[in-house]
Amino acid sequence: MAAEMRAVSSKLQGLLMQQLRGSGQQYAGVGLRALSSSAQGAFQTAPEEFSVHNYESIQVTSAQKHVLHVQLNRPEKRNAMNKAFWRELVECFQKISEDSDCRAVVLSGAGKMFSSGIDVVDMAHLLQTPGDDAARMAWHLRDLIGKFQKTFTVIEKCPKPVIAAIHGGCIGGAVDLITACDIRYCAQDAFFQVKEVDLGLAADVGTLQRLPKVIGNRSLVNELTFTARKMMADEALDSGLVSRVFPDKEHLLNAAFALAAEISSKSPVAVQGSKINLVYSRDHSVDESLDYMATWNMSMLQTQDIIKSVQAAMEKRDPKSVTFSKL
C-alpha cells in the first residue's frame, strides 16, 4: 500500500499545485447558500429516531446522512438541566464519539428557548450532602461539581464537530454548554446570560474557563460574569461568541444543518484531526502544538482520503462527489 501511494503521489505531484491553484476560488465559493435547499429538505423530512439513543431529557435523531441532531427536550421546563440531563448528555456524546457513521452534530433546544440552565429544584436535592462532617460534605460536593464539569467537557472531547443552534434564552449552565461546542449560531431573539452570580455562586462548570478563550475580551467576560446582564444576539456576534445570526429559529436550524452537511461531506480524517488539534493548541504553546501536529500527521498523511481528494481536484469533479470511508 505504501509503495502504491508513493507511486501515485509521484505521478500527481507536478500537477497537484497547478490544479489546486486553479480550483481554489471555485471551491471557496461552495457555502451555506449552495447547500441550503438540500439541507432544508433533509430537516423538513420527518427525522429518523436514532435507535441506540433513548433519553428522558434529550432527544437524538438522525437528521440527514452523517448528521445527528441532539435536542434539549424539556420545553415545558424551558429545557432546564435536571438530574437526568447530567447523566444522559455524557452517555449521548460518548456514543456519538464512537459512532463511525456520524460526522457532525447539531445541538439545539426544543420549544421557546435554548435552555434556562440548571434546574434549581433538582439542584437543591443534589446539593443535600450526607452527614454533618465538613470534610465529607466538601468531598461529596467536589465530586458532584466534577461530574457536572465532565458533562460539557465530553462535548469538547468528542472528535465530531458540534454546532450549537441557539434561540431564545441561553442562561447560566447553558452558556457553559455552548462554550464547549465548536461552532455557535443563534437566532435574532437569542440572549446570553452568565446568571450564577445572581444565585450567589461563581459559575463552576466551564464558563469562567472557556468563555475568555472564546471571546478573547477579558474585560467583557468580567463584565458579563460580575453583573449577570444579558448579552443580546448582535453583541454576541460582535464579540465572537457566535459566528452568525439568523432572523428566527427556522432559518437558524436550516443554516446549522446546511453547515453540518457541508462538514460531513469532507474527509472525516481531516475534519476530526483538525478539531482535535485545534482544541489541543488552545491550551498549549505554539511549539508544543506544532510538535503534536507533526506527530499526528506522521500517520494521518498516509490516508487514502488525500489521494481521492487530489484526484477529484485534478479531474475537476465536485469535492462532494468523493466518497470517504467511515472513521
CATH of the domain at 227: 3.90.226.10
Mean pLDDT of the chain: 86
Asked if 176 is an active-site residue, the reply is yes
Asked if 118 is an active-site residue, the reply is yes
Mean pLDDT is lowest, of 15-19, 73-77, 168-172, 282-286, for 15-19
Asked if 204 is an active-site residue, the reply is yes
Residues 6+ apart with CB under 8 A from 255: 32, 36, 185, 244, 246
- For 82-102, b/e burial (b = at least 16 CB within 10 A) is beebbebbbebbebbeebeeb
Whether pLDDT at 20 is above 50: no
162 by DSSP, 3-state: which?
Answer: strand
Q: Which three cell numbers stand for residue 252?
A: 437558524
CA distance 280 to 274: 10
Output the pLDDT for position 122: 81
Check whether residue 89 and residue 204 sit in a common domain: yes
Alpha carbon of residue 81 to chain centroid: 18
Domain end call among 248, 264, 280: 264
The single residue of 109, 117, 173, 206 carrying the catalytic annotation is: 173
Asked if 173 is an active-site residue, the reply is yes
Asked if 101 is an active-site residue, the reply is no
Q: What is the pTM of this model?
A: 0.83
Q: Which three cell numbers stand for residue 137?
A: 460534605
Check whether residue 99 and residue 38 sit in a common domain: yes
CATH number of the domain encompassing residue 304: 1.10.12.10
Domain end call among 264, 284, 310: 264
58-64/244-246 β-pairing: unpaired
Residue 214 to residues 1, 56, 89, 179, 235, Cα–Cα distance (Å): 42, 30, 22, 7, 14
Check whether residue 55 and residue 174 sit in a common domain: yes
**How many other C-beta atoms can be found within 10 angstroms of the C-beta atom of residue 16?**
15
- Compute the C-alpha angle 33/65/113, nearest 5°: 65
Output the pLDDT for position 53: 65
The answer to whether 108 touches 69, Cβ cutoff 8 Å, is: yes
The single residue of 58, 118, 163, 171 carrying the catalytic annotation is: 118
Average pLDDT over residues 111-115: 98
If one counts the domains in the chain, the total is 2
Output the pLDDT for position 63: 87
% of the chain with per-residue pLDDT over 70? 83
CA distance 290 to 52: 38
Per-residue model confidence as pLDDT tens digits over 179-213 = 999 999 999 999 999 999 999 999 999 999 999 99
Pick from 113, 57, 110: nearest CA to 87: 57
149 belongs to a structural domain = yes
Check whether residue 250 and residue 276 sit in a common domain: no
The single residue of 88, 182, 196, 305 carrying the catalytic annotation is: 196
Check whether residue 42 and residue 153 sit in a common domain: yes
- Side chain identity at residue 224, one-letter code: L
Mean pLDDT is lowest, of 43-57, 118-132, 148-162, for 43-57
Q: Which three cell numbers stand for residue 290?
A: 506544532
List the domain range (segments joined by +) for residue 114: 32-264
Output the pLDDT for position 79: 98
162 belongs to a structural domain = yes
